[in-house]
Amino acid sequence: MGEVRRRSPKPLQVNPIKLPQTMGAALAFLGIDRCMPLMHGAMGCASFTKVFLTRHFSEPIAIQTTAVTDITAILDGGDYSIVEAVANITKKVVPELIGLHTTGLTETKGDDIRGVASKVHLPLVHVNTPDYEGGLESGWALAVSALIEQLVEERTQLDQKKVVLLPHVGLTPIEVEKIKEFVARFGFDVHALPDLSTSLDGYLGEKQGALSSGGIAVEQIRKLGDAFLVLSVGASMKRCARALLEKNAGMKHHHFDHLNGLEATDALVGILLEEAPIPEPHPGIVRWRRRLQDAMLDCHFSIGQTRFLIAGEPDQIAGLCASLVEAGGKVRVAVATVDSPQLVGIRAEKVLVGDLEDAEDHRNEYDLIVSNAHGERLAHACGKGLVLRGFPDWEQVGSQLRNDVLYEGGTSFLVEAANAAERMRSK
Amino acid sequence: MSAKPKIRELLDESACTHNAARKSTCNAPIPGATTGGCAFEGAQISLFPYADAAHLVHGPITCLGASWETRETGTTHPGRDFTRMGFTTDISNRDVVFGGEEKLRLAIDYIVGRYRPQALFVYATCVTALIGDDIDAICRLAESEHGIPVVPVHAPGFVGSKNLGSRLGGEAVLKHLVGTREPEHTTDFDINLIGEYNVTGDMWQYAPLLEEVGIRVLSTLSGDGRIADIRTAHRAKLNVLVCAKSLISLTRKMQERYGIPFISLSFYGKRDTSDALLAIAEALGDAALIQRTRAVIRREELSLEEKLAPYREIFRGRKAVLNTGGNKTWSIASALQDLGIEVVATAVRKATEADREKAREYLGEKGVLMMNPGAEQARIIDETGADLLLAGGRSLYTAIKKRISFIDVNQEKKKSYGGYRGLLNLAEDVRNALENPVFRNVARRAPWEK
């Protein structure tokens, strides 16, 4: 762990990788079944988000806007536009939940959404997510906290089989599914909040995405309070776990900064074996651990001679760095979108909050870039290798199928990184 | 006087045919029932293709973070390509409280100092408009300090639609750039291409033909555009408005101010491309030029027909349903007809009055103009026996369910369908779609389904 720069010294972002809180919140609501994310802002805020996520996931994205105009921005305190928006939405569909989240515009004008929410006669969760604060991770986490605080019922009894998984925003649909299945193999019923694994992957529905489809049901969220075990993944999700523990004093909680690589997965397995009714892990898990060990050895020669730049959301890059470093990768620079307690733990020589211009300025220090699709121009211009991760990935199909976590995903990530490094060197 | 254009005035465009019918409501999106981008996005679409200018978005991260590098607007600019860069002040809580002017000033200095663009566009957004940052004053000062045009663009998202934003972008160019420089020389056949953004290289499909007959593209707004050129746009003999009604205010004002006439046309499909080339030549009014243009059109059509012949065999008797928006409602229909495909229906929900009129013209009396395509298209496919659905990705399932072929014609397409050569791209895509068994194969029932 090296030098950490928690704030960019520049007055602007050049080629940003940072994404807004509002988008994080919208995405969290998309992991709830039959939910309508309602963004309280100008129509462009929702439109940009919708187009961005549609291209990334190649799935229809349900989202609506309160369509604040220059007139209502001055004259309306949110009462008109929010109540009117809900009325118009329910003319066509009846959502199980409205996920009301604010933007910089409506926070600047100071709307009291909690007050307005009481005037809506539908299940509604509200959260303040101005885009001039935080980023994708915090927006997602704030929405999840709001879902917990406003929906989960308090309980005193515990269901000894029930586990709640709180995944950070960077985990892909397939990763959430793999973690759920992994934990389930220890004899548990696992509920992910939110659950993108069933909503933004493999969608072939007839409806044109009027509401989110798949994801955790609102009724299931209400009853999460009797889970005996809470697993949070990613530093951004700690606050969500705290909110959930408020609902039942008997709950146990284990936190993981990430679940990438051998060490982190071993830690998860250790804890699950302590908590689980079964004495030893499923043979499939044992098999995948051996495969990861094998892949680490097979890949170490290539990865060990490669210098990496990793850019993205703090929770995701923390995991990717750990995975590469375990196999001998030299992570020279990690560029994070925003500040996070996670940064001090990231296994890179330099960790900075910044943008892709910063990445370009360090171009002599690395050979291979792990970043979102905006890194492509940089990789091309500077002759670097590229592994695409994070939001957005518009260049490749199947971003929702990319699995980097646990023994299995760690194996395929190392193989992909090693092959990309070799391709780069043979050029 | 403020540099902000009068929005009312822009909405009441006298050169728009439909303006007598619709007035103030043009501009009011409905809460909870609105799709489509905002004014900022419209301004961005119309100005971002200038590859030698930097574009600084003064606002929170949403406005630029989710929108940079989203459109393939190619350029031949040999220097640093600003169309593939994003700049934003990414304002913070502190800026909202204390004002973002200082940050904006520093950001402008940073960009000019490090990247030396030919000009800088500075975009106001909802939050910075609401907190009242004086972008005009900052731009004026920066312009005099740095000696390059620093153009304020007042199209914060909440003032209206994408269309209005494009107009506001055009206004900014007219006010701050057009007429600020003289061209090195002029010709009798100098034109401006207005509203051509060169998405996927559309402009490059036909610009060489213009050059061949002796028409010079003096400047563009803004496909493969250069700042130095648009500054000389007032010396053109003709403004050519390409597929973009939104910039009609600009061309009308240039007619009033500089006496430059304008024509509006499209380069999609064989007929439209030929008509467009000829219309430009005729508008320039030179007999020899018209003759040269006719000759080039003949040659190109002949060569195209030859290349299209094998496709026509495959396409004979095929029917298509089109579900898109804007000018594509008729321009792609026209291109499909040029391939010998019958277009039985086109969606007009997201089209202007003028676009609807043109769609009717192209599809004829029998064609269906779908006002609610999501609900209508499946039924129309059944009734007409259509073989092909061209639409956005959301309609894919309709095609699969109906076991017909599908082509995604969203705005992020990577291939040009423009000009004569673009028609061949479209033909190839249509053939691949018609021949691809995937749409039937994925519709197979699972072994456990009855």
Residues A294, A196 share a domain: no
ipTM of the complex: 0.96
- Asked, for residue A15, whether it belongs to a domain, the answer is no
Residues A119, A58 share a domain: yes
Which residue is associated with the tokens 């312009």?
A: B143
Number of domains comprising chain A: 3
A82 interaction partners in chain B (CB closer than 8 Å): 31
Peptide bond into A399 cis (omega under 30): no
Q: Bridge-partner residues for A252, per DSSP?
A: A229
Cβ pairs bridging A and B (under 8 Å): 202
- Asked, for residue A379, whether it belongs to a domain, the answer is yes
pLDDT confidence of residue A205: 57
Stretch B95-111: mean pLDDT: 97
- Asked, for residue A152, whether it belongs to a domain, the answer is no
Residues A107, A34 share a domain: yes
**Residue A202 at interface with chain B, using a CB cutoff of 8 Å:** no
CATH topology of domain B7-176: Rossmann fold (3.40.50)
* Pick from B268, B269, B241: nearest CA to B253: B241
Q: Which member of B33, B65, B131 has the closest CB to residue A20?
A: B65
Q: Which member of B110, B156, B394 has the closest CB to residue A10?
A: B110
Q: Which member of B28, B84, B106 has the closest CB to residue A377?
A: B84
pLDDT confidence of residue B245: 76
Residues A291, A246 share a domain: no
Q: What is the CATH number of the domain that holds A220?
A: 3.40.50.1980
Compare all CA atoms of chain A with the CA of B54 and give the residue at the minimum distance: A14
Residues near B303 by beta carbon (within 8 Å), at least 6 away in sequence: B420
- Asked, for residue A151, whether it belongs to a domain, the answer is no
- Asked, for residue A354, whether it belongs to a domain, the answer is yes
- Asked, for residue A312, whether it belongs to a domain, the answer is yes
**Residue A62 at interface with chain B, using a CB cutoff of 8 Å:** no
- Tell whether the model's pLDDT for residue B23 goes beyond 60: no
Residue A241 near residue A253 (C-beta atoms within 8 A): yes
Stretch B119-139: mean pLDDT: 97
Compare all CA atoms of chain B with the CA of A107 and give the residue at the minimum distance: B127
Q: Which residues constitute the domain of residue A329? A: 3-9+285-426
pLDDT confidence of residue B18: 59
- Is B34's CB within 8 Å of A82's CB? no
Compare all CA atoms of chain A with the CA of B85 and give the residue at the minimum distance: A15
Q: Which member of A47, A73, A89 has the closest CB to residue B38?
A: A47
Q: Which of A280, A305, A336 is the last residue of a domain?
A: A280
Q: What is the pLDDT along chain A (427 residues), one digit of tens a residue?
A: 689 999 999 999 999 999 999 999 999 999 999 999 999 999 999 999 999 998 899 888 999 999 999 999 988 888 899 999 999 999 989 999 999 999 999 999 999 999 999 999 999 999 999 999 999 999 999 999 999 999 999 999 999 999 999 999 999 999 999 999 999 999 999 999 999 999 887 666 555 567 888 899 999 999 999 999 999 999 999 999 999 999 999 999 999 999 999 999 999 999 999 999 899 999 999 999 999 999 999 999 999 999 999 999 999 999 999 999 999 999 999 999 999 999 999 999 999 999 999 999 999 999 999 999 999 999 999 999 999 999 999 888 888 889 999 999 999 999 999 999 999 999 8
Q: Which of A247, A262, A280 is the last residue of a domain?
A: A280
Cα–Cα separations (whole angstroms), residue A112 to A100, A144, B29: 12, 20, 22
Q: Which residues in chain A (81-140) have CB-CB distances under 8 A to chain B?
A: 81-82, 84-89, 91, 103-105, 107-109, 130-133, 135
- Is B62's CB within 8 Å of A45's CB? yes
Within its chain, how far is the Cα of A229 from the centroid? 21
Rg (CA), chain A: 21
Compare all CA atoms of chain B with the CA of A203 and give the residue at the minimum distance: B397
- Asked, for residue A289, whether it belongs to a domain, the answer is yes
Stretch B116-141: mean pLDDT: 98
How many residues in total does chain B contain?
450
**Cα–Cα dist A169/A200, whole Å:** 13
Query: The domain B311-441: what is its CATH number?
Result: 3.40.50.1980
Q: Which member of B92, B106, B394 has the closest CB to residue A132?
A: B92
Query: Are B7-176 and B190-299 the same fold in CATH?
Result: yes
A137 interaction partners in chain B (CB closer than 8 Å): none
B61 interaction partners in chain A (CB closer than 8 Å): 13, 16, 18-20, 131-132, 135
Residues A294, A273 share a domain: no
Q: Which of A280, A314, A334 is the last residue of a domain?
A: A280
**Cα–Cα dist A227/A244, whole Å:** 10
Cα–Cα separations (whole angstroms), residue A371 to A95, A189, A306, A376: 36, 34, 16, 8
Q: Which member of A48, A49, A85 has the closest CB to residue B31?
A: A85
Stretch B65-92: mean pLDDT: 95
pLDDT confidence of residue A394: 87
- Is A132's CB within 8 Å of B31's CB? no
Residues A402, A289 share a domain: yes
A81 interaction partners in chain B (CB closer than 8 Å): 31
A377 interaction partners in chain B (CB closer than 8 Å): 69, 84
- Asked, for residue A153, whether it belongs to a domain, the answer is no
Residues A356, A250 share a domain: no
For domain B190-299, is the CATH number 3.40.50.12380? yes
- Is A14's CB within 8 Å of B374's CB? no
Sorted by where each begins, the domain ranges of chain B are 7-176, 190-299, 311-441
* Pick from A273, A305, A303: nearest CA to A286: A273
- Is B33's CB within 8 Å of A89's CB? yes
pLDDT confidence of residue B1: 39
Q: What is the pLDDT of residues B239-261, one digit of tens each?
A: 999 977 789 999 999 999 999 99
A20 interaction partners in chain B (CB closer than 8 Å): 60-62, 65-66
**Cα–Cα dist A320/A138, whole Å:** 19
**Cα–Cα dist B336/B357, whole Å:** 18
Residues A289, A380 share a domain: yes
Q: What is the pLDDT of residues B335-367, one digit of tens each?
A: 999 999 999 999 998 888 888 999 999 999 999
pLDDT confidence of residue A400: 83
Q: Is A370 helix (H, G, I), strand (E, B) or coil?
A: strand
Lowest mean pLDDT among A378-387, B221-230, B271-280, B434-443: B434-443
